[in-house]
Amino acid sequence: MSICIRKIQAYEILDSRGHPTIAVALECDGGATGWAQTPAGASTGRHEAVELRDGDPNRYAGKGVLEAVHNVNSVIARALTGRKFTGLPELDASLIELDGAPDKSRLGANAILGVSCAAARAMANARREPLWRLLETQFGSLRDQARLPLPMVNILSGGLHAGSQIDFQDFLIVPHGCTTFAGAMECAVAVHRAARSLIIEAGFALTGVADEGGWAPRLPSNESALRLLTDAIARAGYKPGEQVSIAMDAAATHFYRNGLYRLATENRELSAAEIILELERWTRDYPVVSIEDGLAEDDWENWVRLTAELGARVQLIGDDLFTTAPGRLRDGVSRGAANSVLVKMNQIGTLTETFAVLRIARDAGYSAVVSARSGETEDSFLADLAIASGAGQIKVGSVTRSERLAKYNRLLEIEALQGLPFAGPSPLARWLRRA
């Protein structure tokens, strides 16, 4: 079934941090409509596709997106309106060609992604089928059967997501011992509540919730977050490491300076060798099953060393390292750096390129985690993408804030009404065997 675009309209909205972002509404011949809202990151890698901002200091502190909106309503609308496309890959190819820049800096990845996702929704509506099924049909799944992903849920935050109360950006749980997605969410809520109680009992200053809804306590060290989270899992009634494990997002690029890793809250500077030793000890002392961006985005030599040391023990995710870019992921695979990739649509700009990265990961034996951004909207598109990809893992944020719950609630809806199976521990099986 082809798609012929009748109308495209973009406009400016606000994301979860109160920063402008783009919404796109699209109408096809026959009356089917689709819409999309694009997310934005705070902890961004320098190799990401360009998120076009106006730069006008007198309007939203330079973060307005009116130029990107204009690009949709003028350049993209003129090029696509009235054209018939055989499917989303052909439409995305036209968008990529129209921009012409490898980093999408002419029209903006935020503008292009909004159109790509809105067109997908319109096509799904035209076919009267769930969005995840349309995406699976258009791009193919990593597995033979679509499945609900295992969530990686934010409980404690630091870094750029929480005013750098601690240096590491996020400490999350992975409820791999649950048999349903609904059970995994019940577990996450219980651990989130238990963590708050422990923070208060210990007398740590609770500064509120961070960008992604996790607690933002003022802790004495990064390791203390691991102790607190392990205790919270147990207090919630689960067995650490057996039913619920820990994932960390170091976002190490943001405390990397002149070849050293500067932990400002601990007044320490570590070499790459020293931080690798620290991470290795933590995987022995705590139920850590996944580490994201444990080293800086261009510290390739030490990423290879980290992978050789820890790759058999834990999932090592590249976010800033790969920025959902096919070329960087292929480079990492050839070097032996990391064993997993974080997949964020807006880092690359189209659905076609997003699925290309997922296929590269699959073919290389890397796991993949479909991820939201710290600046999110109420758009639940990511939930359907995670199902369609078959990746088996999703990272949305915590269990508070509506922009996070929109994705979780969409997954709960699909489980309840469409009966898809839950991935459970299978995406992490190779690392859980050591427990």
Assigned domain for 261 exists: yes
> Which tokens belong to 231?
């205790």
Residue 378 annotated among the catalytic residues of the structure? no
| Same domain flag for 175 and 264 | yes
Residue 116's domain is classified under what CATH number?
3.30.390.10
> d(Cα 167, Cα 158) in Å, to the nearest integer?
6
| Same domain flag for 323 and 195 | yes
**pTM (2 decimals)?**
0.94
> d(Cα 240, Cα 218) in Å, to the nearest integer?
23
| Same domain flag for 91 and 201 | no
Domain coverage including residue 15: 3-128
Per residue of the chain (435 residues), what is the pLDDT tens digit? 688 999 999 999 999 989 999 999 999 999 999 999 999 865 555 778 899 999 999 999 999 999 999 999 999 999 999 999 999 999 999 999 999 999 999 999 999 999 999 999 999 999 999 999 999 999 987 776 789 999 999 999 886 544 446 889 999 999 999 999 999 999 999 999 999 999 999 998 777 677 788 998 889 899 999 999 999 999 999 999 999 999 999 999 999 999 999 998 889 999 999 999 999 999 999 999 999 999 999 999 999 999 999 999 999 999 999 999 999 999 999 999 999 999 999 999 999 999 999 999 999 999 999 999 888 999 999 999 999 999 999 999 999 999 999 999 999 999 999 999 999 999 999 999 654
Catalytic residue among 51, 63, 136, 344: 344
Residue 136 annotated among the catalytic residues of the structure? no
Residue 273's domain is classified under what CATH number?
3.20.20.120
| Same domain flag for 87 and 180 | no
Q: How many domains does the chain have?
A: 2
> Which tokens belong to 235?
């207090």
Catalytic residue among 212, 297, 353, 376: 212
169: amino acid identity, one letter? Q
| Same domain flag for 154 and 282 | yes
| Same domain flag for 242 and 363 | yes
| Same domain flag for 318 and 408 | yes
Assigned domain for 276 exists: yes
Cβ distance 25 to 118 under 8 Å?
A: yes
